[in-house]
Chain A
Amino acid sequence: MMDKPTWKSTLRAFLYLLPALLILIVFNIYPIIKSFLMSLYTDYDFYNDVVYEYGLSNFSDIFQDPNFIKAIVNTTVFVIGVVPVSIVLSLAIAIMLNSKIKALSFFRTIYFLPFVTSVVAVAIVWGWIFHSDYGLLNYFLGFFGIDPIEWLTDPTYSMPALIILSVWKGLGFNIIIFLAGLQNINKQYYLAAQVDGASAWHRFLSVTIPLLSPTMFFISIISIINAFKVFDEIFALFNGRPGPANSTLTVVYYVYQKFYEEWEFGLASAAAFVLFIIVFLFTLIQLSLGKKFVHYQ
């Protein structure tokens, strides 16, 4: 099977790859390059698609824009708020679902539902849950003597509301991946650890965590990238606005505003490129950390 590559075989391989490559180039690679180039357009006539001048001023402009700084801060708060909570919560639920309980598949379905439901539908439901007068959440908090919170109209609470929605929305996917990871751990290790004198907590620390590390690593990378790209939840939850007083303005939302609402293609592309660099750096850091802490069998 593994012959030496010849020009003929290479050409044939390219032919097989062509359909997928074509789609990727047209819809992914080309737009990435184009948007990078666009971030360098400093004088652009978009009616006639003529670029009069290239430069880096778009980048300096966005870093002087308080809204962009706010978007970066908001995005960072969102990532820090969502990712750890989501991972810990979904791991805890996955461990519960992995134990012997009745009506297991029922619970698995319940937890997976948010993942398969459309963001818009989810956001409408949560819009009602968060409602300051009739919302379930405030009703529930009322039992603890907490006054109604204006989740969606008070700038202090709009970010927490968005984080709650996003954590809930992301649980299903993470749980399924964690469950698969948990089921891959040989039960013998738990028996061995038990005989070796490890309590349930130590078995979790010494067997589950290290043997689940590849899964954990995968989920943390995916979750961080997804969290950095948050947009639709905001759009749907706050009816096409970035929250009260820009309180949930994120980088992608900023790109959207600049592109579709202000037709500032250069600024939008520059912001998108900055986000790309941030995500890229984070992923590099994670990969190098992963080499140290992740055990692959």
Chain B
Amino acid sequence: MDVYLDNLTMEFQDIKAVDRLSTTIKDGQLVSLLGPSGCGKSTTLMLLAGLYKPTSGDIYFGEQNVTKLDAEKREIGMVFQNYALYPHLSVLKNIMFPLRMQKVPKKEAKERAIEMAELVQIGHLIDRKPGQLSGGQQQRVAIARALVKKPKLLLLDEPLSNLDARLRLEMREEIRRIQQEVGITAIFVTHDQEEALSISDRVMLMKNGILQQDSPPQDMYRNPINSFTASFLGNPPINFIKVTKTDQQGKYKIMNSSQLIHLAKDIDMGQIQLGLRPENIYITNKEDALMTGEVVHLETIGRDTLIRVKIDDVTIRALIDPATDIHVGERCHIGIKQEHIRYFNIENGANLERGNSHDGQANMEKHA
């Protein structure tokens, strides 16, 4: 079942939590709603669940307009951040609860619940109470409870944020496995870019209630629509430097620095912002260098070496080859391939190499 959002808006008092959100979520896809806290991603999920009713706009499940339908009638499954398992019921009864509400005969309900418990690999725990389970096990119960009634749509509200780092990795893969096995359309809210990029078919990045970019994860990383998207994705974060056009062809002056850099692209603007991904920057010789500065910080974590290079008042982070012989305090030349440089409008942050077209709009299919 496809899900359409049409100009969805949600206002709380005078705050627009979600602002004219339009998109299409294709059947069987796993879509992440990503953004910093307060960006409206959880509100969007609550709107999809029917726990909030939008101020304006419409939600369609397939052909059906469900905007005014209450949560209990929407046939969705939801996994809450703190799982919200009923503490007085055993695992089996928790999973059976949605079926009991649908008045499924007890025997059948039990069979389906056990089947679902096996799918999420907690078949041996069904007689326990939620309080006797670990975080990861509770998570699995919550997923089983959400899926047992064969919902049209699965919603997950920051399902991994209460787990420790290793378990988070495991559950993230589990959620993907279960989602693919069941073949359900799923929407996943997270503030963790790595989670979003790793398991989703598509990422919707939001900020201040507005959908910024809506595209497959790699595309969003490589080709950000604006400087916010570029800065939100990637760890260590992208380097931004502001440059001013000079009289010399292709030469730009770094702001707060006397250095000039060469750009292959000719941009018809006085000032622009450049985005340089740390992993694209390398140490090079003087002829090839984009900039020259002093290494002020160097750390090696596992397979990566991260350096910070100070060019007058500008600091650049770079991930370099750990074999490079370089030390704090030395001067070095850093370079980047011209095609890896991203250009942003200094005022509105728009990526100058992309049109102004909004990807969310591109995903919005007209339907009657």
Contacts and interface: CB of A to CB of B under 8 A. Distances in A.
Interface of A: 186, 188-189, 191-199, 202, 206-207, 210-211, 213, 295, 297
Contacts of B101: 196-199, 202
A85 B362 CA distance: 62
B319 to A, nearest CB: 41
A213 B89 CA distance: 13
Nearest to A200: B72
Contacts of A193: 86, 97
A66 to B, nearest CB: 48
* Residue of B51, B77, B88, B131 most packed against chain A (CB within 10 A): B88
A63 to B, nearest CB: 44
Given A195-B72, A196-B97, A197-B102, A188 B87 contact: no
A177 B259 CA distance: 72
9 contacts: A188-B82, A191-B49, A191-B51, A191-B78, A192-B78, A192-B80, A195-B71, A195-B76, A199-B72
Nearest to A210: B88
Nearest to B103: A197
Interface of B: 49, 51, 70-78, 80, 82, 84-88, 97-98, 101-102, 131, 145-146, 149
B163 to A, nearest CB: 17
Given A191-B51, A192-B86, A194-B70, 8 more contacts: A191-B49, A191-B71, A194-B72, A197-B102, A197-B149, A198-B97, A199-B72, A210-B86
* Residue of A186, A196, A207, A213 most packed against chain B (CB within 10 A): A196
Contacts of A197: 72-73, 75, 98, 101-102, 149
Given A188-B80, A188-B82, A206-B97, A195 B49 contact: yes
B98 A194 contact: no
B77 A297 contact: no
Given A188-B80, A196-B101, A196-B145, A211 B87 contact: yes
A191 B84 contact: yes
Contacts of B77: 195
B112 to A, nearest CB: 14
A192 B80 CA distance: 8
A23 to B, nearest CB: 40
Contacts of B131: 297
A211 B84 contact: no
A202 B97 CA distance: 11
Given A196-B97, A197-B98, A202-B101, A191 B80 contact: yes
A195 B51 contact: yes
Contact of A295 (B72, B78, B88): B88
A237 to B, nearest CB: 41
B87 A297 contact: yes
A213 B87 CA distance: 12
A175 B70 CA distance: 30
A123 B81 CA distance: 52
Contacts of A202: 101
Nearest to A197: B101
Given A202-B101, A297-B131, A195 B88 contact: no
A188 B49 CA distance: 13
Contacts of A189: 84, 86
Contacts of B85: 192
Contacts of B84: 186, 188-189, 191-192
B149 to A, nearest CB: 7
Given A195-B71, A195-B76, A206 B51 contact: no
B72 A207 contact: no
B327 to A, nearest CB: 52
Contacts of A207: 86
Contacts of B98: 196-197
Contacts of A297: 87, 131
* Residue of A189, A193, A195 most packed against chain B (CB within 10 A): A195
Nearest to B51: A191
Nearest to B77: A195
A197 B72 CA distance: 4
B80 A198 contact: no
A211 B78 contact: no
B82 A195 contact: no
Nearest to A211: B88
Closest CB pairs A-B (n = 3): A295-B88, A192-B84, A197-B101
Contacts of A213: 88
B87 A295 contact: yes
B347 to A, nearest CB: 41
Nearest to A203: B72
Contacts of B76: 195
Contacts of A196: 72, 97-98, 101, 145, 149
B156 to A, nearest CB: 12
B189 to A, nearest CB: 14
B87 A198 contact: no
Contacts of A199: 72, 101
A206 B100 CA distance: 11
